[in-house]
A and B are shown apart, each in its own frame.
Chain A
Amino acid sequence: MTTLREHSVRVNGESVRVWEKGAGRTVGVLAGLLGAPRWTPFLESLAQRHHVVVPSLPGHAGGGDFRKLDDIADWVSATLDLLDAADLEGADLVGFGPGAMLAAECAAFSHPVAGKLVLCAPFGLFDASEPVTDFWARRPNQRAATFSAQPAEFARDVLAPPAGADELEHQIAQTRALEAAARLLWPNCDRGLAKRLHRVRNDTLLVWGERDAIVPASYAKKFAAGITGNARVHVIPGAGHVLDHDAPTELAAAIEEFVGE
């Protein structure tokens, strides 16, 4: 599959967008705070050697209704439904931020649901001595620098609407993705994963941006210590929270190496 294929799957009565590209071992990707509004250089890079499948999470562009989800059981159930529908059960999973947290939660509830896990700056733990940043409470002009270590590029490539897109609808979609994250994470980004993390028996790669301004890079060790499977940490120098934007090639290479082992 050398071209990007977009199709819909039925998830619990809703139609949900799935992107697929590439050949080789299947890797599912669960997007981060802003969803997956467009096919990115990172996804393209990963699709060079893998069959990449990107199902849209609730609230993300192409995703289902997130406002019917209240507690973590609802979110895990919705994510399991989504993985089923996208034919990803048992596949290796790469997740970002809230998507990484949901991958870890799903594995904690039932570890055979995924193969290997790549968790990129996951949410889910909270340490009061170095708290996760309240990234919602940022002035609009602070958002780019909170998310990315390359704020000018991030503002241009991700926050701004793509050429020809409706600016208002782009902003609405971005706000909706952030609301979905709020629905899952408000206010401290912790839904009790610490109590379940030991149930994650999957081999796990934890990837963090050294300059993550949202979830401190020191959280990598906390996750690694809690997971029962083999857990390894890979810190990318100079990158911020949005690893797929800030270090697309290095991230894709780290994932290839880990899932290829």
Chain B
Amino acid sequence: MIYRNPYLIMLWWPILALTIALTGPSQYILHILIIAGIYVILAQSLHLVLGQLGLLSLGIPAFFGIGAYAETLLSVHFGMDNLLSLVLVAGITFGSALVIGVPSLRLSSHSFVIVTLSFALLLQVIAFHWISLTRGALGFPDIPAPSVLGFSWTDKNAWLIAILILDILTFAVFIRIKTSRFGRSLAATKGNEDLARAVGFNTFRVKLLAFAISGTLAGIAGAAYAHYITFIDPNLFGFSVTENLLIMVVLGGSGTFFGPMIGAVVFTVLPELLRFSPEFRTLLYGFLLLVAMLRFPRGLGELTSRIRREKQR
């Protein structure tokens, strides 16, 4: 059943992006595709905790920023090969996610939302004021191009391929998790946590692992972002990334496999196509989110999958 195999279905995005790239588009269009690719990773990061566990973590920017700053510092101060630094960054963000996750996940769901948001804000304050480490509000300009096993690139076509590779890896990890038995532990924890514990699951550890993997994905996205945009500043920890992500994941469909990925692409490309100013985009997103919560609390993707199931009966 080729059309059922998620590993093959996910290729729609790389194939689409590469097809567009092969038509010799402008640098601007390539840029949009690359940003969409970065948001695909972030959307999967949020999807893992929100869609699979129902945990509204507003702290994704925390790990995005940690990844970006860690990668920048490793590249600028140590000049190391970026495959190695990426592995280190993954380790650092995984560890940070454990540190943040252990106190946060013990709390009630209300406090969890507040605390994860606060962690991101706290990191922003730290980034602004620990000037000796982060250069404060000035940020880091001129981040060097990535260098992986001797191969370096700045060309946008090369960047697109690099990001698409990361997207495929991210999604493969996500599919693997969701279809494995651990995915069933996630479903049980989400469906009825008290029962899951009574049956024998250590649901705290289940949530912690998912949270840590989610943070690692966001950190990897941050590392890629740092090398691509070549400039980072403390605003990375701010709320605008979360705004975009919520729209992508919620409107894309947090209950489905591919919803957030579609959401990431659609909501990166569409605002650019329509030339919205950032303020107007936020306004529009606000309305879309409000309407979505009123009509489709589980996202449009859930709606379409429900329709498909009705047809199958």
State yes or no: do A and B come from one complex.
Answer: no
B-contacting residues of A (Cβ < 8 Å)?
none
